[in-house]
Amino acid sequence: MTKTKGALIGCGFFAVNQMHGWQDLDDVEIVAICDRDPERLSVVGDQFGVERHYQSAEALFADGGFDFVDIATTVGSHRALVELAASHRVPAICQKPFAPTLADAKAMVAAADAAGIPLMIHENFRWQTPILAVKAVLDSGVIGEPFWGRVSFRSGFDVFSGQPYLAKGKRFIIEDLGIHSLDIARFLFGDASRMTARTRRVNPDIAGEDVATMLLDHDNGITSIVDVSYATKLPEEPFPETFVEIDGTTGTLRLGKDYKLTVHGPEGTVQSVVAPNLLPWASRPWHNIQESVALIQKHWAERLAEGREPDTSGRDNLKTFALVEAAYLSAESGETVTIADLL
């Protein structure tokens, strides 16, 4: 079998999951890795048996020999790296958040389009098994036409020990975590036209907001609430579970703690557990996110082979990123923001 060859840029905290995800795919091989930090290059190179190491992305692309690049660096480098991939006409995956600003994200989509390469944002939360289960219930029609929804992520988990940069940015929870929740809202309820948001910083040791409450008007008339918090101290820590509530014209759906799904419809109530699979390399409580990494990367490999745009393409993700930008604008001004004014 001829394998699709990939290169990974950024060998930090999260990239290890991405390397495992690639290793799980029989028809993909990561042939080269790149990180400015030689120690991370050695750690990841040794763990996954990758011999070609680069400290500069320019040198990696100059040598070439791969069919796509997986960019797993933090947001500040995303635009330059995607534009570099485009200049070499190499299909690219870029981690979320897409870019520091919407203008950067638009420029990245334009660069990929001009080069004729696919660009996928690694927006994996919609690929979580429980979220896919919720979508399947909605599509089945059992709760009728949804008219109200809530996507909620409230936790007191210490994310700063694994990802210290999260404590330093002026923007925190909407840009890092709310971005996933907003994408889930789009996935379940469709595109949104207006955003109203309020934010707070509860933790005095960080620079950005750690609580956000967002109200979305969706194009199809659904109203949803997306609420996120890293300042919520619960008796049982739910990290990293997303809870979902949906009311429809003929029933309701609730996704709650420990992945319990309750669907109430005209025929009665069905309860089930829609827990993610614990992949051999995964560890609790991250296994839900880790499985979604494997699933989105499988999706990329399939779409690349078929020559079709991935679901979370750069073009699609501009609409999620616009909600992030709108939430910050709304929280700052106190006004409702019209999404079309940003796109």
Return residues touching ligand NAD (CB under 6 A): 9-15, 34-37, 40, 57, 72-75, 77, 95-96, 122, 124, 163, 165, 176, 289
**Distance between CA atoms of residues 130 and 126, nearest Å:** 9
**Distance between CA atoms of residues 30 and 297, nearest Å:** 12
90 binds, options ligand NAD, ligand 89V, none, Cβ within 5 to 8 A by partner type = none
159 binds, options ligand 89V, ligand NAD, none, Cβ within 5 to 8 A by partner type = ligand 89V
240 binds, options ligand 89V, ligand NAD, none, Cβ within 5 to 8 A by partner type = ligand 89V
Any contact of residue 240 with ligand 89V (CB under 6 A)? yes
**Distance between CA atoms of residues 10 and 28, nearest Å:** 18
DSSP state of 313: B
Greatest Cα-to-Cα distance within the chain, rounded to the nearest angstrom: 62
Number of Cβ atoms within 10 Å of the Cβ of 217: 17
Decide the pairing of beta strands 252-256 and 260-265.
Answer: antiparallel
The CB-of-178 to ligand 89V minimum distance in angstroms stands at 9
154 binds, options ligand 89V, ligand NAD, none, Cβ within 5 to 8 A by partner type = none
Any contact of residue 176 with ligand 89V (CB under 6 A)? yes
Any contact of residue 293 with ligand 89V (CB under 6 A)? no
Determine the residue type at 180.
H
Which positions from 148 through 167 interact with ligand 89V, judged by CB under 6 A?
159, 163
Window contacting ligand 89V (CB under 6 A); options: 176-184, 200-208, 249-257, 326-334:
176-184
Q: Which one, 121 or 222, has the nearer CB to ligand NAD?
A: 121
What's the start-to-end Cα distance of the chain, in Å? 42
**Distance between CA atoms of residues 137 and 142, nearest Å:** 7
Decide the pairing of beta strands 4-9 and 28-34.
Answer: parallel
The CB-of-333 to ligand NAD minimum distance in angstroms stands at 26
Q: For binding to ligand 89V (CB under 6 A), which residues are involved?
A: 159, 163, 176-177, 180, 240, 289
